[in-house]
Structure 1
Amino acid sequence: MNTNLIKRPKINRACDNCRRKKIRCDGPQTHPEECSNCSISSSASCTYVNPAQQNVASSYVKHLEAKLEEYERLLSEVYPDFKTDYNSSDNIIHRKRKYTPPSSSTGTMSAHINPISPIDYEDVEIADRLGYIFVSNEDRVSNDDQRRYFGRSSARGLIERINIYNGTTPQDILSSKRKIYWRDDWSDEILPHLTKPEYIHEDFGDESLMYELVDLYFTKVNVSMPLLHRERFLADIPKRKLERGFGSVLIMVCALGSQHMRADDLRVLIPGKENILFLAGYRYYGIAKAKMIDPTMSIASLEDIQAFFLLQVYSQNGVYPKGGWIAHTNAMMLSQDIGLHRKSFHGINNERQREARRRTIWCLFIIDVTNAAAFGKTQVLTERDIDMDLPSADRYGDIHSKNRLSVSYLVSLVQLYKLLSQILRSVYRLKENVNGDDIVMNISDIAALNSSLNKWLNELPVDLRIESCSNGDEEVYQLRSYLKIGFYMVQIYIYKSFLPDPRSFELSYFRITSLVICSNASKSIISIQKKLVLDRENINGTCYSDLLLSWSVFNATIVLILSFCESRKNKDINLDDLEYIQLGIEILRKREARVLLCGRALDMLLQVIRTASLPLDPAFMQAQEEHVEKHQRSGNLNEQGDILFMNLTQFERQGTDFLDDVNLDSILPSLSTGEDWSDVLNAMFNGNK
């Protein structure tokens, strides 16, 4: 027997050099000679000194992970703000898959590179490394709320490949930073007067009033847009009141709560202007504007984004409705900057923190799609760009039935507005695609959208149906009403582009059908709003509603005016429309005290009614005229605005060639008069500007 073979140690692992470089090693076949990789490297020595890595049974790992998750859950119940400093099992699937080039017997490595899987591109660690290029403060980058998101088209994949080739670490890459290029505090030194002041206790006023406003916010605003968790928010107020992010949220909560105070409570109104309710909370709004982060120079935290969201909500009903879109756009851009829309980006172990992110991004989506629909703008972030799960009350452990119903309402509204987003991309899209080819739309496409809408209504949870008993809870009844109004508004958006052309005297079955559907939906909206606004006292106002729901009465009244004008043109006057038009005016009149846009919409509708010579009840119209004279149209339309409306609101047009309904795109958009009708809405949102 050969004694040399007996003494030769058995090697069944890669050499130390190959293990360090994470490349394939043929050492077990060549030992005691050098492996192929070490033989072609003049600086490497082929050794087997370091101990082999011990493998751990997968069952043992799973057992430890299960125990750890249970400990985290128990600890989070005692201390909700608990954070771990390690990557939990939730992030295991996001670890890198290392590139291992094969070795040949000749020592030459193949040029073939294994394809990178989608998981590689979701690597959080690589995004962090790339983030250091844009943010020099390492403490800020380590904050879960302030890690910038870099998508698949960024340089993440390239940086990862270099790292794999060279075995470098983030510390290696950042080891030779030149300070002048990595500073981000130039404004503090060069323009110190622009530094945002910190919050102080006096900003929030009397503490008892502050908590009263917080309670009103959760009762009237958060119930229909459950952005915040009440118990956690209240617990954080004493210890986090003066933090910039939390303080901005708190002060906007106070501003929104002010909009729902009793009309005779002067504490939140502007001195000398106590009769103007839509200015309620303006003091808090002004402080927030001065002390919120600068979105052009800061990485936002989750609370910064929530504060911008609440700023938009306040602006919608307050004195600056034109600023709401800009505030919303800032919030959307900041949310994308930190990857709030991507489920895979946040390595956060606390389930409640993940739920807070879900609620924030879906609340932003609701505002985004309703603003896009109301203003005719492009969505900033569609549902196709969001891969976050829908909110759930279970993740906060909510047992209160009203809280659970509120979250269920939010989920149903998101599902409805996903359909609205699809409608905006189809019915209201450009007629040509990026290649210049025509996109044909036919009646079957409209039928499919209508079918999806009816499916949503049929699948609505029983406890959210307006027919369900409200048990005397006013807020619950309003939530159910809002969903039904949303259904009818989306139905109007499906068909309103196909209403009859006032320039044509030829009849079209599809156009007439569209008018009937829109008219019936408008009457339903006004009937529901009558029960909400006119038939109830609502001393604190109605619950918050997004722009599509809030503006529903205005849209419904306009549709019914069009319906009456069409019936009058065809010598078939429908007096039923006039009754609902009058109701629409009364609803707007009731809401204008708290909602500035309702006052402007009312001024505009009254001018439309005068111009169109609608035969409304003379006593009713006289009362409206007296009301207008009493207020002297203060804060609404100026003399130039009156002339603008009189010139533009002309409904009788001469006929033109009629277009049939074979190709629905032939009647999109429905009108082209050669006049810029945007000026009407521009004046409505800009006031006297």
Structure 2
Amino acid sequence: MNTNLIKRPKINRACDNCRRKKIRCDGPQTHPEECSNCSISSSASCTYVNPAQQNVASSYVKHLEAKLEEYERLLSEVYPDFKTDYNSSDNIIHRKRKYTPPSSSTGTTSAHINPISPIDYEDVEIADRLGYIFVSNEDRVSNDDQRRYFGRSSARGLIERINIYNGTTPQDILSSRRKIYWRDDWSDEILPHLTKPEYIHEDFGDESLMYELVDLYFTKVNVSMPLLHRERFLADIPKRKLERGFGSVLIMVCALGSQHMRADDLRVLIPGKENILFLAGYRYYGIAKAKMIDPTMSIASLEDIQAFFLLQVYSQNGVYPKGGWIAHTNAMMLSQDIGLHRKSFHGINNERQREARRRTIWCLFIIDVTNAAAFGKTQVLTERDIDMDLPSADRYGDIHSKNRLSVSYLVSLVQLYKLLSQILRSVYRLKENVNGDDIVMNISDIAALNSSLNKWLNELPVDLRIESCSNGDEEVYQLRSYLKIGFYMVQIYIYKSFLPDPRSFELSYFRITSLVICSNASKSIISIQKKLVLDRENINGTCYSDLLLSWSVFNATIVLILSFCESRKNKDINLDDLEYIQLGIEILRKREARVLLCGRALDMLLQVIRTASLPLDPAFMQAQEEHVEKHQRSGNLNEQGDILFMNLTQFERQGTDFLDDVNLDSILPSLSTGEDWSDVLNAMFNGNK
């Protein structure tokens, strides 16, 4: 027998050292590595030589004895000659199969043939026949993610109170279950064709290509969204590649790595469509969709949730951007289902596992708040619902400077988006509360938000400031640039609701100030993106950026078009806006090969420029038209784009003396034109549908 193909025994008890000291042990999670306690002790040896004593709950024994005696009595009435081979049901406990530790001899294979478990299989069979629950130690160790979270408002508290009155246990309450009502595998029997297939080695393709894609993922995606730990992930690939949870993560890692392959590398492109780069990795995406868990039928593990997160990230730049929101919502719902947002729920000793959970929930939060901002939707989970600590590189023992900088970047981004979440709840809230009373926002509220934003910028770690960066490391430069872009985008979200009314000729100091702030922020965004996209080669594309950062050029260009239209309305044309609008078009043109939404955004912007008659450089516009014809643009968008983008303004200097307490709702412009402008964004995300 080839012993290399046989799994080593699972460990489901504390190591000898922790048992002797009577301290909690995380050996089952870290095995075959040392447990956390032994790893920090130079004199301790993490072994599992001495057999564990099996303690059986007295209530469990009494239930078994009573049930067995009743069954014996009934059986003797049917078969009077029936005799048991034991004198008392007490023998149940003594007939347990003894646990024998595996041999330490490397020449003996018998210890590796069958996983050894201290479970009493005879008792399991009896308990199953009698209708009792029996949860093994192994289940408790390996299925920790399978526990569902029920909060304080659930019936959990009421059930717990019963124990105070009569000492009832969960096992007592669940001891008489009718199988027909407690089965959860009906689909396997009734709809077997819907069963998800298992992963096979062929799904991951050539092994050398797979590892190349994994490397690109950690270089270009994980560096700006450090969901996974590189060393541990690479170590798990050979032994866990075909597991559904880990395999789903790996297949999506390959899909995301494909989006950053060189443009001339055809191995990850679709045959016959090698010129369409945003289809890169679509094969891996299709396999993942077919083999990931069904979120409506399964309790997710941490890795299942990570896989859904990566699926959303891929969808953002790929051919199905409209599916990203649904994939993200699935991930958020599944994470709440297992209590990923509550640090007190899991009770996990292994610090690395706790860190993996922290990173996952905060990465989900980032996507949640940026999607809410970009789509104008409600957040699924706000920062007020999460009590997990922020990520830290120390918990993984990272000593690599870029890894530590990556985690520091993630923490800074979380802090920025906590503020954005607050902005969405205040500036973009309903105008009435639950009682029907008007909610009033004052200029002082806006000033407080702006002050918090500046405070965030001033408190950025020195090594994340764009002013202190060098051009030595491309990824580090991009991370620092992303934070500055994020600052300007959040600033735009604070003020863009207060831009001038395109149908009014009355000048409002606060509206004008808001336009100046948004216009200056937009120019800063385009300047930074120019350095990132146009002034650098980036043969593998730029690092991953969330939807808010990725869409920043589109938003900035729209704001500058508004600014030019307002200045033209007031006969104070600012040609400087046109230069930045042209730069925004060039940046989107450069990115559209890899990012589908950039191509769609570009088509929309060019049509807006035509209908608004913006006097851009004729040679530049001619080049854009030729490029459009080359790529076979199919028809025009709605010709009424000038209704929304009519006439707005900008002043050269930004005013700051607006801290008087004024009701802003009274000056918010109403842009109701009788048209449903949601159709424009709907078409952008749905394509031709």
How does the TM-score come out when normalised to structure 2?
A: 0.78
With over 3 angstroms needed to count, the CA separation of the structure-2 counterparts of 1:67 and 1:94, relative to structure 1, is closer
| CA positional deviation for 1:666 | 2.5
CA distance in 2, matches of 1:35, 1:268: 40
With over 3 angstroms needed to count, the CA separation of the structure-2 counterparts of 1:375 and 1:48, relative to structure 1, is closer
Cα deviation digits, residues 121-145 of structure 1 (max 9, x gap)? 9999999999999999994897111
Determine if contact 1:90/1:347 at 8 Å carries over to the other structure.
Answer: no
Identify the range of structure 1 (174-183 vs 560-569) with the bigger mean alpha-carbon deviation: 174-183
Determine if contact 2:8/2:115 at 8 Å carries over to the other structure.
Answer: no
Question: 2:8 aligns to what?
Answer: 8
Identify the range of structure 1 (419-428 vs 107-116) with the bigger mean alpha-carbon deviation: 107-116
With over 3 angstroms needed to count, the CA separation of the structure-2 counterparts of 1:381 and 1:477, relative to structure 1, is same
CA distance in 2, matches of 1:275, 1:82: 79
Identity %: 100
Determine if contact 1:612/1:650 at 8 Å carries over to the other structure.
Answer: no
CA distance in 2, matches of 1:49, 1:503: 82
Q: CA RMSD in A?
A: 18.3
| CA positional deviation for 1:468 | 1.1
Identify the range of structure 1 (135-144 vs 91-100) with the bigger mean alpha-carbon deviation: 91-100
With over 3 angstroms needed to count, the CA separation of the structure-2 counterparts of 1:550 and 1:176, relative to structure 1, is same
CA distance in 2, matches of 1:678, 1:253: 33
CA distance in 2, matches of 1:364, 1:165: 41
With over 3 angstroms needed to count, the CA separation of the structure-2 counterparts of 1:177 and 1:90, relative to structure 1, is closer
| CA positional deviation for 1:172 | 1.6
Q: What aligned pairs does 1:371-520 form with structure 2 within 5 A after superposition?
A: 371-470=371-470, 472-520=472-520
Determine if contact 1:607/1:646 at 8 Å carries over to the other structure.
Answer: no
- 3-state SS of paired residue (2:425): helix
Name segments (4+ residues, structure 1) moved above 3 Å: 1-142, 634-662, 667-670
With over 3 angstroms needed to count, the CA separation of the structure-2 counterparts of 1:322 and 1:634, relative to structure 1, is same
Cα deviation digits, residues 216-262 of structure 1 (max 9, x gap)? 00000000000000000000000000000000000000000000000
- 3-state SS of paired residue (1:394): helix
CA distance in 1, matches of 2:159, 2:167: 11
Determine if contact 1:36/1:103 at 8 Å carries over to the other structure.
Answer: no
With over 3 angstroms needed to count, the CA separation of the structure-2 counterparts of 1:218 and 1:379, relative to structure 1, is same
Cα deviation digits, residues 331-377 of structure 1 (max 9, x gap)? 00000000000011011010000000000000000000000000000
Determine if contact 1:416/1:456 at 8 Å carries over to the other structure.
Answer: yes
| CA positional deviation for 1:168 | 1.8
CA distance in 2, matches of 1:81, 1:682: 78
Query: 1:684 aligned to 2:651?
Result: no
Identify the range of structure 1 (53-62 vs 609-618) with the bigger mean alpha-carbon deviation: 53-62
Cα deviation digits, residues 502-554 of structure 1 (max 9, x gap)? 00001000000000000000000000000000000000000000000000000
Determine if contact 1:87/1:347 at 8 Å carries over to the other structure.
Answer: no
| CA positional deviation for 1:171 | 2.0
With over 3 angstroms needed to count, the CA separation of the structure-2 counterparts of 1:46 and 1:384, relative to structure 1, is closer
With over 3 angstroms needed to count, the CA separation of the structure-2 counterparts of 1:576 and 1:620, relative to structure 1, is same
Cα deviation digits, residues 363-396 of structure 1 (max 9, x gap)? 0000000000000000000000000000000000
Determine if contact 2:500/2:649 at 8 Å carries over to the other structure.
Answer: no
Cα deviation digits, residues 24-75 of structure 1 (max 9, x gap)? 9999999999999999999999999999999999999999999999999999
| CA positional deviation for 1:660 | 13
CA distance in 2, matches of 1:236, 1:77: 57
| CA positional deviation for 1:96 | 32
Cα deviation digits, residues 294-324 of structure 1 (max 9, x gap)? 0001000000000000000000000000000
Determine if contact 1:127/1:150 at 8 Å carries over to the other structure.
Answer: no
How does the TM-score come out when normalised to structure 1?
A: 0.78
| CA positional deviation for 1:276 | 0.1
Determine if contact 1:94/1:123 at 8 Å carries over to the other structure.
Answer: no
CA distance in 2, matches of 1:219, 1:69: 65
Determine if contact 1:18/1:25 at 8 Å carries over to the other structure.
Answer: yes
Determine if contact 2:196/2:291 at 8 Å carries over to the other structure.
Answer: yes
Unpaired segments ≥5 residues, structure 1:
none
Identify the range of structure 1 (45-54 vs 647-656) with the bigger mean alpha-carbon deviation: 45-54
CA distance in 2, matches of 1:353, 1:77: 55
With over 3 angstroms needed to count, the CA separation of the structure-2 counterparts of 1:387 and 1:166, relative to structure 1, is same
Determine if contact 2:502/2:646 at 8 Å carries over to the other structure.
Answer: no
CA distance in 1, matches of 2:95, 2:44: 28
CA distance in 1, matches of 2:110, 2:220: 66
Determine if contact 1:504/1:655 at 8 Å carries over to the other structure.
Answer: no
Determine if contact 1:355/1:391 at 8 Å carries over to the other structure.
Answer: yes
CA distance in 1, matches of 2:672, 2:634: 33
| CA positional deviation for 1:177 | 1.2
- 3-state SS of paired residue (2:665): helix
Determine if contact 2:564/2:648 at 8 Å carries over to the other structure.
Answer: no
Determine if contact 1:135/1:184 at 8 Å carries over to the other structure.
Answer: no
Identify the range of structure 1 (545-554 vs 57-66) with the bigger mean alpha-carbon deviation: 57-66
CA distance in 1, matches of 2:482, 2:60: 52
Q: What aligned pairs does 1:289-328 form with structure 2 within 5 A after superposition?
A: 289-328=289-328
CA distance in 1, matches of 2:220, 2:628: 30
Determine if contact 1:600/1:637 at 8 Å carries over to the other structure.
Answer: no
